[in-house]
């Protein structure tokens, strides 16, 4: 075969190979796109982390703005709620951290600010010298009940698009997800009122 013919044949084979490779890449790309549509983390699907974050962040900020005049934060409201619901079985600081699913440093910082605002006090534990029980003050209760009404109004507003049945179903499903998240951390499920 002449050198020219061999070069042309080699060139034609290279062009065919490039075309085959391009066609294969397109097919792989289409297959990957089709598979991606079905993956849990596909951008075309609703994804758990962004939805939970958006809901939590938006709710937290809306509540923060509405209770700002009361001089407390959403986390401080949660502490006041737990303390009101535990009355008179005051929790220790460690127990309060577990109830709030929060780390000890965050709880310490929150309680320090709340003590300064005179909405909580620490009382020595009756048997453990290293522990303190956290107690809500009368001023803390007054603030809590004002903030509680704001929380109820906000929750009612946010859940308004859902029927009563859908709300119940939503909370049941959210509880299942929350318990599953807790178990993935190596924790045990927390008993809820429904169990």
16-30 confidence digits (pLDDT tens): 554 555 666 666 666
40 in any annotated domain? no
What residue numbers bound the domain in which 77 lies?
71-159
- pLDDT score at 88: 79
DSSP state of 70: G
38 in any annotated domain? no
DSSP for 77-130, please give it. Answer: HHHHHHHHHHTTSPPBHHHHHHHHT--HHHHHHHHHHHHHTTSEEEEE-SS-TT
pLDDT band at 13 (very low <50, low <70, confident <90, very high): low
32-74 confidence digits (pLDDT tens): 555 555 576 677 777 888 899 999 999 999 999 999 999 999 9
Q: Is the pLDDT of residue 12 over 80?
A: no
List the CATH number of the domain containing 85: 1.10.10.10
Cis previous bond, 175, omega within 30: no
User: Tokens at residue 100, please?
Assistant: 């709030």
Are 146 and 195 part of one and the same domain?
no
Distance between CA atoms of residues 133 and 90, nearest Å: 6
49 in any annotated domain? no
CA-based angle 30:35:37, to the nearest 5? 100
Are 136 and 168 part of one and the same domain?
no
135 in any annotated domain? yes
Residue 177: closest CA among 48, 16, 33: 48
- pLDDT score at 100: 87
Are 171 and 155 part of one and the same domain?
no
**pLDDT exceeding 70 applies to what percent of the chain?**
75
Q: Is the pLDDT of residue 93 over 60?
A: yes
Are 83 and 152 part of one and the same domain?
yes
Are 76 and 146 part of one and the same domain?
yes
Are 98 and 120 part of one and the same domain?
yes
Are 192 and 152 part of one and the same domain?
no
Q: Is the pLDDT of residue 135 over 90?
A: yes
190 in any annotated domain? yes
DSSP state of 39: S
Are 117 and 167 part of one and the same domain?
no
pLDDT band at 120 (very low <50, low <70, confident <90, very high): very high
């Amino acid at each position: 075969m002449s050198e020219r013919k061999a070069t042309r044949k080699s060139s034609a084979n290279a062009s065919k190979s490039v075309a085959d490779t391009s066609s294969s890449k397109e097919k792989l790309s289409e297959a990957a796109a089709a598979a991606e549509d079905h993956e849990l983390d596909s951008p075309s699907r609703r994804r758990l982390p962004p939805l939970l974050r958006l809901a939590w962040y938006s709710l937290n900020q809306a509540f923060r703005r509405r209770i700002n005049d009361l001089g407390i934060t959403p986390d401080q409201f949660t502490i006041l709620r737990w303390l009101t619901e535990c009355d008179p079985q005051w929790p220790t600081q460690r127990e309060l951290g577990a109830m709030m699913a929060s780390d000890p440093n965050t709880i310490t910082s929150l309680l320090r600010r709340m003590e300064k605002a005179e909405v909580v006090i620490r009382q020595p534990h009756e048997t453990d010298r290293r522990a303190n029980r956290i107690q809500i003050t009368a001023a803390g209760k007054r603030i809590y009940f004002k903030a509680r009404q704001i929380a109820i109004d906000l929750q009612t507003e946010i859940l308004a698009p859902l029927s009563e049945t859908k709300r119940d179903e939503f909370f049941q499903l959210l509880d299942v997800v929350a318990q599953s998240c807790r178990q993935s951390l190596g924790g045990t499920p927390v008993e809820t009122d429904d169990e």
